[in-house]
């Protein structure tokens, strides 16, 4: 009887140990579409329905629109996703990187989106929003931390939704300053991202409209950190030439151009590199580039 009890106890210990430790060696990758892409699919479906039975569809939609107008007349809604805040993930207990973005989408839902995201996996990881600006431990989360659910994957782009009712009646999203990846069993903060709501200072380079000029990029840039590029520093001259210092050799020269949100660098040595500005943000005097999950940061030198 004693041997049976010891055997059962040992099995239970091993099972719990496997549940706690095995995620560290298993990667879960997700790749969810951006909210605007999801709405685009819905619009396409609506057009197909409209072709099938236009009269009935229009009548139903008019009725729904009248009801929705009565319910939502006090709630101004955006016509396309609107960026509210952005932040970069930092390592706390474990290494990780990526970008966290808060969007408001048509209808009033709030999307927390991770892009180029990668952290160490772990047991029962949860996603939290915290009102604290710096979260390094469970105590820093605060009693009013808002849980968005389990982490969908430790790698890849993913969305977490706060429905419109919750966003408008239960929480003030602008009071939450940090996104937290939290290990619930061990009460450990794996990673955190500080959310910057200062939209006036944030310029996002995307496919909608070119929001910077060539003059904005002219000047000297000092490489702060990079996992992809070999430059220590680079000077983008207004005449379209550049001079850079590289890690592998003393210096490099060439020409540069910027159009259609793409920065093109052509080396006199015959090398070339295209940097897509859809992966890059310009904030004050800092350029932050994320490409294929790897981050590069440049500081402007006055």
Domain borders along the chain are 35-72, 82-197, 201-301
Q: CA 190 to CA 262: how far, in whole Å? A: 34
* DSSP helix, strand, coil percent of the chain (3-state; round to 5): 30, 40, 30
Cβ(149)–Cβ(161) under 8 Å? no
pTM of the model: 0.53
For the chain, 302 residues long, give each residue's pLDDT as a single digit of tens: 666 656 556 655 454 444 445 555 689 999 998 876 554 443 443 344 334 444 453 455 445 444 444 434 333 444 578 888 988 999 999 988 999 999 998 889 999 999 989 999 999 999 999 999 999 999 999 999 999 999 999 999 999 999 999 988 889 999 999 999 999 999 999 999 999 887 444 444 333 334 456 777 777 777 666 655 566 678 888 888 888 776 655 677 888 887 766 777 788 876 666 665 556 666 667 777 766 556 677 778 76
Q: What is the CATH number of domain 201-301?
A: 2.40.128.280
User: Residue 64: what pLDDT?
Assistant: 47
Q: What is the CATH number of domain 82-197?
A: 2.60.40.200
User: Residue 292: what pLDDT?
Assistant: 59
- 162 SS3 class: strand
Q: Is 102 left (phi over 0), alpha (psi -120 to 50) or beta?
A: beta
- 189 SS3 class: strand
- End-to-end alpha-carbon separation of the chain, Å? 78
Closest CA to 176 of 167, 185, 184: 167
Q: Is 157 left (phi over 0), alpha (psi -120 to 50) or beta?
A: beta
């Amino acid at each position: 009887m004693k041997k049976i009890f010891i055997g059962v106890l040992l099995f239970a210990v091993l099972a719990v140990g496997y549940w706690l430790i095995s995620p560290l060696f298993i990667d879960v990758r997700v790749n969810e579409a951006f909210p605007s892409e999801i709405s685009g699919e819905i619009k396409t479906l609506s057009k197909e329905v409209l072709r099938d039975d236009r009269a009935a569809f229009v009548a139903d939609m008019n009725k729904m629109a009248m009801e929705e107008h009565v319910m939502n007349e006090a709630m101004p809604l955006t016509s396309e996703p609107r960026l509210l805040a952005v932040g970069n993930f930092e390592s706390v207990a474990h290494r990780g990187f990526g970008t966290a973005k808060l969007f408001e989408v048509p209808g009033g839902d709030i999307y927390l989106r991770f892009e180029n995201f990668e952290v160490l996996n772990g047991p029962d990881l949860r996603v939290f929003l915290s009102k604290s600006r710096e979260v390094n431990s469970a105590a820093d989360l605060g009693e009013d931390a808002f849980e968005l659910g389990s982490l969908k994957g430790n790698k890849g782009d993913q969305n977490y939704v706060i429905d419109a009712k919750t966003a408008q009646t239960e929480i003030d999203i602008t009071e939450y300053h940090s996104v937290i990846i939290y290990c619930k069993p061990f009460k450990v903060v794996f990673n955190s991202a500080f959310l910057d709501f200062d939209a006036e200072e944030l310029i996002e380079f995307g496919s909608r409209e070119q929001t910077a000029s060539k003059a904005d990029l002219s000047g000297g840039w000092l490489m702060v950190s990079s996992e992809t590029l070999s430059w220590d520093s680079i000077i983008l001259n207004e005449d379209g030439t550049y001079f850079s210092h590289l890690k592998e050799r003393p210096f490099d020269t060439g020409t540069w151009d910027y159009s259609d949100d793409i920065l093109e660098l052509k080396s006199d040595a015959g090398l070339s590199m295209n940097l897509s500005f859809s992966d890059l943000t310009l904030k004050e005097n800092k350029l932050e580039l994320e490409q294929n999950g790897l981050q590069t940061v440049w500081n402007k030198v006055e």
